[in-house]
Amino acid sequence: MELSRAHLEALPESQRQPVLEKLGAELTSRVLGAPDFDSEVGDIISEMRARGHDLRLFDSDGEWQLWCGDWTEPGGGGGKLILHFDPVRGCRSQLEQAGRIGVFEQGRHLTTACTRPDSA
């Protein structure tokens, strides 16, 4: 899915969820079908960065990985896309809302949330 940061962030609220679900489904197919989960995630992150998404590794337990924009930048300059990769469940995608990096409930773990410095 060719999804640039500018296109994603410009979508009306009513159109975002279906696009994020489609992105998550496509990325799930890729990571679950890949012979090397970590290499595939790395490839995906490189591709998404080439489309303008400033993705950085926010959290990982050595298996799953949570990627998001630079949460330390005041004003949210790092972008709004959040990708959560899991070698069993695949990928979930969402957009940051109200200055918080989302909390994903994944059954066996709950990722941490972070608040941007300008939204405290």
Give kind and range of the element (H or E) at residue 65: strand 65-68
Distance CA 117, CA 120 (A): 6
Give kind and range of the element (H or E) at residue 91: strand 90-95
Task: State residue 115's pLDDT score.
Answer: 32
pTM of the predicted model as reported, rounded to 2 decimal places: 0.78
**Quick check: 69 pLDDT over 60?**
yes
Task: State residue 31's pLDDT score.
Answer: 96
Helix (H, G, I), strand (E, B) or coil at 22: helix
Q: What percent of the chain has pLDDT over 70?
A: 72
**Quick check: 102 pLDDT over 50?**
no
| pLDDT tens digit sequence for 71-96 | 776 655 556 889 999 999 999 998 87
Q: What percent of the chain has pLDDT over 90?
A: 47
**Quick check: 119 pLDDT over 50?**
no
